[in-house]
Structure 1
Amino acid sequence: MSTKTEKLSKVIALTNQKGGVSKTTTSINLAFGLSLRGYDVLLVDGDPQASALDWATVRDEAGIELDLTVIGVPKTNLAKEVAKLKANYDFVIIDGAGRQSELTRLAIVACDIAIVPNTTSPLDAWATKATLESINEIQSYRDFSSYFLLSGVKTKTKIFTEVKDWLAVTYPLPILDSVIELRTAYSRCLGEGLTIFEYKDDHGKKDKKAIDEVNALIDEILSRENIIKIEEAV
């Protein structure tokens, strides 16, 4: 846990009105990865489907300790609740709603950093337009960062390059260099109430490539946002 008295109070929203783009998977592993580094982290489930809360329940019932806080606020008071709570944490990670335009918008209203996960499906890329319209609207009166994250993808495919290039020329959001690949380990670990940092396959091996992906994502966010790492601040 962080020993600093003054918290960073950075709010990161994983947001996209299109479902099935790894918002919950990325939110959980991002939150856990930050907590491993000593940050105080709050994970907010802002989706009525409550997948992050379900994960936390599975973990709790299995008696697995969790060094971060998970709450559910899939309601119209999402932005107000986050504003009240963020002073107590270094990072608040919002797992945004899918197919819920108002809840998606509220997650963006609450955030300092909006991350828009996207697969390499052209249909998903087209469906991202509504989320980007909300980001553009809110950025017209409030300053915050926003990025694309390619997630649940296979990088060694032609479609990956095609969709990535299309996003780059079609929308103004920068694309993060970090990529979350499509890996069985991500879905299996969540089903067991674990994160990618803890999960082991049937042979007792961790997925080092997946762990490296999440750590690279954390490093890139900290770097792009000029956030001093805990070990650099002490």
Structure 2
Amino acid sequence: MIIGLLNQKGGVGKTTLSVNLAASLAHTGARVLLLDVDPQGSALDWAAAREGKPLFPVVGLPRASVHKEIDQIGKDYDYIIIDGPPRVTDLARSAIMASDLILIPVQPSPYDIWAADEVVKLIEEAGIYKENLKSAFVVNRKIANTAIGRDVKEALSSYSVPVFTSSITQRVIFAEAAAQGKSVHEIDPQSSAALEIDAVKDELMGFIK
């Protein structure tokens, strides 16, 4: 199963969600590969900050041939998480064509909701060639107890893409974990952050069945 995380708008917490989803899957015993196709290499930076044995391998592949190479690269893994580029490019198109499911992280902001239009159009274009391609929004970096945090799912309903009921709240533990090259599960497996990541992972598993 290949899961691409894409949004053409930067700063939505795409890498944070990618590494922590990969960690949540790895904790189930699954063989997981994180593919960093973002030229900025944020997931690679996360891996480089880690001391000790990695939870899963992180491979950089920032080129527009991802969809052609992924079968060979990912043949030994149960799940491949693709941390996609922050702009609509040939690289983004390749990442979409390589994926079975596209997860679109969106912050609860009008700008993010408007900006989602471009990646939705890309996914719709790819659907002509990949009939079984699935996609969903996940609200990320939500500010707790704010009106816009509650209203964002309704705002996203204007798109044909479904919105996950589970969401991720912005929390300091994500930054603390990233600085150490760790997942939030390793910092505190019972933290609200870890439980939210697991909830997204569980919804993801149900979505792709």
Q: Which runs of 5+ in 2 are unaligned?
A: none
Identity of aligned residues (%): 37
Cα separation, 2, equivalents of 1:57 and 1:81: 24
What is the CA deviation profile of residues 203-234 of structure 1, one whole-angstrom value per residue up to 9, with x for unaligned ones? xxx661111011111111111222xxxxxxxx
- How does the TM-score come out when normalised to structure 2? 0.95
Please give the alpha-carbon distance, in whole angstroms, between the structure 1 residues aligned to 2:151 and 2:164.
16
Counterparts of 1:53 and 1:42 in 2: how far apart (Å)? Answer: 12
The 3-state SS of whatever aligns with 1:94 is strand
Residue 144 in structure 1 maps to residue 127 in structure 2 = no
State how far apart, in whole Å, the 2-side matches of 1:105 and 1:16 are: 12
Normalised by the length of structure 1, the TM-score is 0.85
2:62 to 71, 74, 86: 74
1:164 and 2:147 aligned: no
Pairs within 5 Å for 1:27-38:
27-38=18-29
Structure 1 distance, partners of 2:160, 2:88, is 23
**Deviation of the 1:99 alpha carbon:** 2.1
Determine the C-alpha separation between the residues in 2 that align with 1:162 and 1:209: 21
The structure 1 residue matched to 2:85, chosen from 84, 87, 97, is: 97
CA contact (8 A) 2:88 2:118 kept: no
- Tell me, what secondary structure is at the counterpart of 2:30? coil
Equivalent position amino acid for 1:15 in 2? L
Checking the alignment, whether the CA contact within 8 Å between 1:196 and 1:207 is kept in structure 2 is no
Aligned residue runs from structure 1 range 85-124, under 5 A? 85-124=73-112
Is the CA contact (8 Å cut-off) linking 2:24 and 2:198 kept in structure 1? yes
**Secondary structure of residue in 2 paired with 1:44:** strand
- SS of the counterpart of 1:56? helix
Partner deviation per Cα, 1:139-165 (whole Å, 9 max, x = no partner): 122121100000011242111233221
Q: State the superposition RMSD in angstroms.
A: 1.3
> Corresponding residue for 2:14?
23
Paired letter, 2:75: A
Q: Work out the CA distance in 2 between the residues paired with 1:126 and 1:14.
A: 18
Give the counterpart of 2:200 among 211, 217, 221: 217
Q: Hey, what's the Cα distance between the residues in 1 that align with 2:144 and 2:105?
A: 15
> Following the alignment from structure 2 to structure 1, what is the Cα–Cα distance between the partners of residues 13 and 68?
25
Amino acid at match of 1:12: I
Unmatched tracts of structure 1, length 5 or more: 1-9, 201-205, 227-234
CA distance in 1, matches of 2:121, 2:108: 20
CA distance in 1, matches of 2:190, 2:175: 12
- Whole-angstrom distance in 1 between the partners of 2:89 and 2:168: 25
Partner letter of residue 34 of structure 1? L
1:185–1:207 contact (8 Å) kept in structure 2: no
Larger radius of gyration: 1
CA–CA distance in 2 between the matches of 1:26 and 1:163? 18
**Which is further off, 93-102 or 115-124?**
93-102
Question: Structure 1 residue aligned with 2:72, among 84, 108, 122?
Answer: 84
Give the Cα separation in 1 of the matches to 2:179 and 2:201: 23
Secondary structure in structure 2 of the residue aligned to 1:181:
coil
